[in-house]
A and B are shown apart, each in its own frame.
Chain A
Amino acid sequence: MENTQLEKILKNYQYQDFNLLAILQDIQAIENYLPRGTLEELAKRLDLPLARIYKLATFYRAFSLTPRGRHLVTVCTGTACHVRGAALILDTLERELEIKPGETTPDREYTLETVNCLGSCALAPLLIIDSKYHGKMLGTKALSLLKGEEKDVSEGS
């Protein structure tokens, strides 16, 4: 991240360390992950030990310390999705992409993630590809979506 960009974020939060969570969220929103170099620079600017920043960055689920793939594939594993078969969809995707949740394919094409619940339970089980919602998912349907063979109508925010 450019130093000027970081500066802008910090200024927005008055260089206050109690805003660290929000600062990290803004960095991740731009970079898609938390780059080590940026965190080191952040530690310097806020005069904080790097460990204090890493403590937050590794505690909260929202953060990733490694670059994520071009496509973000998220399986909702909330309870409603679980009882309607989310585990089978996750397994199918793990098998197809040959990665576990939280990992990125070696070609940086896909990152597979799970989310605890997005509150769109009427669409359960739910698969989100690059923030597009695909409801009433099936393993086979998930594979065709990945391959771009199927266009789902239920696309949202």
Chain B
Amino acid sequence: MYLKGPDELERLRKQVIEGKKAEEGQKRVVLCTGTGCRGAGALEVSEAFQKELDRSSDIELKRTCCHGFCERGPITVIEPMGVFYQMVSPEQVSQIIAETVKKGEVIEDLLYKDPKTGENIRYEKDIPFYMRQMRLVFGHNRLIDPTRIEDYLATGGYKALTKALFGMSPEQIIEEVKRSGLRGRGGGGFPAGRKWENCRRAGADVKYVICNCDEGDPGAYMDRSLMEGNPHRVLEGMIIGAYAIGASEGYVYVRNEYPLAVQNVGIAIKQAEKMGLLGENILGSGFKFTISINRGGGAFVAGESTALMASIEGQVAEPRAKHIHTVESGLWERPTNLNNVETWANVPVIIERGADSYSNIGTEGSKGTKIFSLVGKINNTGLIEVPMGMTLREIVHDIGGGIPGGKKFKAVQTGGPSGGCIPEALMELPVDFDELTKAGSMMGSGGMIVMDESTCMVDVAKYFTNFLRDESCGKCTSCREGTLRMYEVLDDITKGKGREGDIELLEELGWVTAEASLCGLGQTAPNPVLSTIHYFRDEYEAHIRDKKCPAGVCRDLITYDIDTELCIACGKCKKECPVEAITGEKKVPHEIDQDKCIRCGTCMEVCPEDAVKVQ
């Protein structure tokens, strides 16, 4: 259906909502089939539901994307009751249909059990993981089948677009975004409204807007989940932005490793075109805007704006100097405004609610909410959306449920390879752009990797430096050689070959790499090293002076031993050891030959009694 004007859009919305009202009380199984839940087997669960439901046509299966609580996937909500089931397997499907969907009986075993109180929780809103969140941008995911634009319309989708196109001038929109205090969610935190304003002012006949979905930070996947789960919201933000800036063409640059995101945004673009929400004369306003998709080639540096634009032009993704800003001369030397997925997805919220209401949320310098991916050594892995300024403690302990296995918290790494590690002493830090930077880290795109006492901070620094060494495009010598040298020094330290003065050398190398490199990758490359030196210097010193890895990670500095008191002489470790380093007979505690041992950790992994200890 092609919509010729805003009134036709509203008529359609009314129809869709009335249709949904008529369905009230409809028996429905809502299943998350986002990438996270798919990994946990959601497609098999979906198939099982489909098979069962083919026999009873009065029950609907609705496939959404990410609900955020990935730890407990596959996630299912049974409507109209609203019961929240977690870790559902195909074998449980017929029971769910027979008992819950048909008879309204709750299956206690499938409910989330609060580890603190031991009580089973029936509804999503009562689960501690969700209770403290403010799901302004991400919350609609659970209501939307991303392949159905009607679902988006029912949540008020494209209302902000109508308001912008027919009730506001481009200048007013920019003013609104400026007043909202929205800062770019991709890394740097540059004020979005100011960027738009500069791009609008740049004189040119053709301008572009770009959506950056080349989410390269390892451990961060909120952009993917938004794009998979609610692509129309991102598109709506882009259309509003394009209208405000005066751009007629847009690009979505999305990681090719995200096939479902590529697919869903492709479907969404086609639907929007068909309805007249994209293309010539959008909703009869006379405004023309098209969007095409570019798939990334798997280069971390392509997340940098100038490198990304080079990649769209069919070149290698090498950044350039920004003495002329991309808002004046970007893609094909035309004014270009680039924002990331989450930034664009915030725009409809701002336009619809108004800047005043939006800027009430958050801190002085960081407004609104932020989606974080809370991963690593944490009980509740998942995507969370919280108001800016929530403390790290609330995020890690109240929402994340603390550290698994009763281990001790050590640090949170934020900002991906450009960020740093924040220690326990700063747990009361209110998380926003400026506070994270002050702590020597950064917001980045919102990855939060939790580390416990068994994580070695020198190893973490080495991991990120190796990542950056690998991903440096090589254009700047300081970055290419700086990351390599830092890696070599760190590698030596973790192998027991560290020397006095290495820490100072790392600091000097870090300083040069940051000062002399062109783009954000090089400028922030030393952060993982410098922040771990700053907060965990003692771990570096233990590696260098005592040739010890206190966390028991660095292989050349540790030994595995069998506790003879605990060993039950079951022979499992002896059987699995790849180098036959373990000796021992039945009923005789086993022993590890340290000369033969390659420290692969297999014995520790297979020991049923936790008798293998690392030192």
Interface residue ranges, A against B (CB under 8 Å): 16-22, 24-25, 55-56, 59-63, 77-80, 82-85, 88, 91-92, 95, 115-124, 126, 133, 135, 138-140, 153-157
- The answer, yes or no, to whether B298 is at the interface (CB within 8 Å) is yes
Q: If A59-B299, A154-B39 touch, does A121 touch B219 (CB 8 Å cutoff)?
A: yes
8 Å CB interface, B313-355 against A: 313-317
Taking a contact as CB atoms closer than 8 A, the residue among B36, B298, B317, B602 that contacts A122 in the complex is B36
Least CB separation from B89: chain A residue = A153
Min Cβ gap B251→A in Å is: 11
7 contacting pairs across A/B (C-beta < 8 A): A18-B313, A59-B297, A60-B299, A80-B449, A83-B449, A121-B70, A156-B39
**Do B38 and A140 touch (CB < 8 A)?**
no
Q: If A78-B218, A154-B41 touch, does A116 touch B300 (CB 8 Å cutoff)?
A: yes
Least CB separation from B456: chain A residue = A83
- The answer, yes or no, to whether B434 is at the interface (CB within 8 Å) is no
Min Cβ gap A138→B in Å is: 5
Q: If A18-B312, A140-B606, A157-B259 touch, does A135 touch B298 (CB 8 Å cutoff)?
A: no
Taking a contact as CB atoms closer than 8 A, the residue among A20, A116, A155 that contacts B314 in the complex is A20
Taking a contact as CB atoms closer than 8 A, the residue among B41, B73, B220, B578 that contacts A117 in the complex is B220
**Do A79 and B299 touch (CB < 8 A)?**
no
- The answer, yes or no, to whether B481 is at the interface (CB within 8 Å) is no
- Count class of interface residues, chain B: 35 or more
**Do A61 and B298 touch (CB < 8 A)?**
yes
A-B contact count (CB 8 A): 165
Q: If A59-B299, A84-B377, A119-B224 touch, does A18 touch B314 (CB 8 Å cutoff)?
A: yes
Query: B196-223 vs A: 1/0 string, CB under 8 Å?
Result: 0000000000000000000111111100
Taking a contact as CB atoms closer than 8 A, the residue among B36, B70, B225, B311 that contacts A21 in the complex is B311
- The answer, yes or no, to whether B413 is at the interface (CB within 8 Å) is yes
Taking a contact as CB atoms closer than 8 A, the residue among A21, A77, A138 that contacts B294 in the complex is A21
CB neighbours (8 Å) of A88 from chain B are 600-601
Q: If A88-B601, A118-B257, A155-B44 touch, does A124 touch B375 (CB 8 Å cutoff)?
A: yes
**Do B312 and A120 touch (CB < 8 A)?**
no
Min Cβ gap A55→B in Å is: 6
Least CB separation from B572: chain A residue = A140
Min Cβ gap A83→B in Å is: 5
Min Cβ gap B420→A in Å is: 13
Taking a contact as CB atoms closer than 8 A, the residue among B70, B224, B311, B467 that contacts A116 in the complex is B467
CB neighbours (8 Å) of B460 from chain A are 82-83
